[in-house]
Amino acid sequence: MIKFEQVSKTYPGGQRALSKVDFHIEKGEMAFLTGHSGAGKSTLLKLISIMERPTVGRVLINGHDLNTIRRRDIAFIRRDIGMIFQSHQLLMDKSVFDNVALPLIIEGYTRKETTKRVEAALEMVGLSDKSRSLPITLSGGEQQRVGIARAVVNKPPLLLADEPTGNLDPKLSMEIVRLFEDFNQAGVSVFIATHDLGLIARMRYRTLTLKQGKMITDGLTDSDLEAD
Amino acid sequence: MSILFKGRRSGASDTNISLLQTLVMVLVSHVRQALHSLGELWRQPAASIMTIGVLGLSITLPSTLYIMVKNTEKISAGWEQASEISLFLKTDTSPASAQQLLTRLSTWSEIDSLTYVPADDALKEFQHLSGLGDAIAYLESNPLPDVILVRPTEKFAGPKAAESLLQKLKQQREVDIGKLDIEWLERLYAVLDIVRDLVTLIGGLLFIAVVLIIGNTIRLNILNKRDEIIIMKLVGATDAFIHRPFLYTGFWYGLLGGVIAWMAVILILWWMDSSIQAFAALYQKDFAITGLSGSALLTMLALSVGLGLAGSMISVQRHVKEIEPK
């Protein structure tokens, strides 16, 4: 599903964010990406969503080389990737319903279909009763769930999450991760970047660890990760 | 359309709907965005009114000048018809050769009609009108020449055409002097030409100014919506989708500005009408000022909308591209 081939990224100014990263996440797999701040997690996710382009190497999604994607096609690529952000990225002056409906309106769904899908997505994240509220009136955990509902509302085959549990307490974090597990069970590939090692330790999922731009471990969680 | 995942259906193609339904949906979404843009203008009345006002007044000035030129042309068109060439024949011309000349001239296509005034008739008329009466009877011979009044056809009544006709007439051997009193008309036309050029120039400059003003206003709108644009790009909005509300804003600016210009023109004409009537009365001319015709009005509105759209197009092309999620 996601394949990195000898990917390096150097930002203008010489800052080396990733060097020769190689990995492959299979279709329907759920994996975590971890590492300290500045290890290159965000850069790696940005290469998948084409917010940045690799300096060297290839990033492939479902066998398609992202280097060959033209600028004007990027929008269509992003419709296939559900993205979840630490900062939620919600429209604060629009209702929860309108926020979740945004990807569907962009894709030109009918009003009826939009309503149906948005309600289903809000149901999944347990916010059915908040659809008319403004995001500003919701708690951090609820806002994050609105972001998740928006990411899954058009049923993308791939979910990317950047620090989705960043500001949440362990209990809420666990609820969010359970949500991702549900989507994963429905066949969606899920890739989560987090520095919340405690969260990862409680589960047994494949974990990729970055350190100073290099991939240092790739495999199941083990105890030495927590020591790192 | 999915590039990465063949067979993944999305959006309008997800459910089986007819082409008609798709069209209706596109239309509905456009109407919704248009109304939304109008609503945005409504929510910031002060800023919107200023922009619309600038646009409206910028179009009012050239429109009013255009009407002035149009009306001046209309008045002078009446005078133009009156242009008449007087041909004074040589004194030794016999009545027979004068008749010959008349016959010759009557075949010219440039000439509408001819009036022959023999010297004797002219003297009688002069005697009658001048009040010199019997004094004229003491003249040994008639000092007046025979005169032919030539009225050119409409096509040859303009200053330039009439002038060339005059030159041609002067070459006739019977003709002594030809006179075409249209120098003042030529001057008026020259002035009108300059005024028309000025109107075009002023109009052009103001239109450029309008495009720049709208462009800048839209640029500020885009910067204000920076966060929203980033979010839309993150969830897969194309540039065209993001452009659309701003283009509609430009459209509304143009339309409303055009309506303001229209009202301003009506107001100006109404205000000037009485003074123009007084002026026309001095010349005993029945003259009604012509306003904007239906098609001119539509042109004005279309122009205004066009300027609004042009300004916003330039702005979105430049600035939406600059905003990328980081």
| Domain assignment of residue A103, yes or no | yes
> How many Cα atoms within 13 Å fall on the side-chain side of residue A153?
34
What is the ipTM metric for this complex?
0.90
What b/e sequence results for A47-77 when a residue is b if at least 16 CB atoms lie within 10 Å of its CB, and e otherwise?
bbbbbbebeebebbbbebebeebeeeebbbb
Q: Residues of B numbered 16-35 whose beta carbons fall under 8 angstroms of chain A's beta carbons: which are they?
A: 17, 21, 25-26, 28-29
| Domain assignment of residue A221, yes or no | no
pLDDT at B162: 78
Mind listing the pLDDT tens digit for each residue in B53-81? 988 998 898 888 888 888 777 776 666 55
pLDDT at A138: 94
What residues contact A34, with CB distance under 8 A and at least 6 apart? Answer: A41, A193, A194, A195, A197, A200, A207, A208, A209, A210, A225
pLDDT at A226: 46
Q: State the greatest distance between any 2 C-alpha atoms of chain A, in Å, as a whole number.
A: 52
Task: Compare CB distances from B11 to A83, A85, A107 and report the shortest one's residue.
Answer: A107
A108 phi and psi angles, rounded to 5 deg: 80, 35
* Beta-bridge partner residues of A211: A214
pLDDT at B84: 77
| Domain assignment of residue A43, yes or no | no
Mind listing the pLDDT tens digit for each residue in A156-166? 999 999 999 87
CATH number of B84-181: 3.30.70.3040
Structurally, chain A folds into a number of domains equal to 1
Domain with CATH 3.30.70.3040 in chain B: 84-181
Domain range for A124: 90-155
Q: Label the pairing between strands A30-34 and A206-211.
A: parallel
H/E run at residue B6: none
* Placement of tokens 């929510």 in the chain: B43
Mind listing the pLDDT tens digit for each residue in B256-280? 999 999 999 989 888 888 887 777 7
Tell me the pTM. Answer: 0.75
- For residues B46-50, give the mean pLDDT: 88
Whether residues B2 and A80 touch (CB distance < 8 A) is answered with yes
| Domain assignment of residue A115, yes or no | yes
* Placement of tokens 């209990």 in the chain: A171
- Distance CA(A45)–CA(A49), nearest Å, equals 6
Whether residues B236 and A113 touch (CB distance < 8 A) is answered with no
pLDDT at B261: 92
A170 phi and psi angles, rounded to 5 deg: -55, -40
| Domain assignment of residue A131, yes or no | yes
* Residues of A whose CB is below 8 A from B324: 51
When mean pLDDT is compared across A5-9, B153-157, B204-208, the lowest value belongs to: B153-157
Chain A within 8 Å of B5 (Cβ-Cβ)? yes
Q: Say if residue B83 is exposed, middle or buried (CB neighbours under 10 Å; 0-12, 13-18, 19+).
A: buried
Share above pLDDT 90 across residues of chain B, in percent, rounded to a whole number = 26
Q: Determine which of A1, A69, A79 to mutate to test the interface with B (most B C-beta atoms within 10 Å).
A: A79
A171 phi and psi angles, rounded to 5 deg: -65, -45
Chunked into runs of 10 residues, chain A (228 residues) has average pLDDT values of: 93 90 92 89 93 94 92 91 91 94 89 92 93 93 93 93 86 88 93 87 87 85 47
| Domain assignment of residue A186, yes or no | no
Distances (CA, A) of B85 to B3, B25, B114, B162, B231: 80, 70, 10, 8, 78
| Domain assignment of residue A114, yes or no | yes
- Distance CA(A120)–CA(A161), nearest Å, equals 20
Is residue B150 within 8 Å of residue B169, measured between CB atoms?
Answer: yes
> Is pLDDT of B318 > 70?
yes
Mind listing the pLDDT tens digit for each residue in B85-132? 888 888 888 888 888 888 888 888 888 888 888 888 888 777 777 777
pLDDT at B283: 66
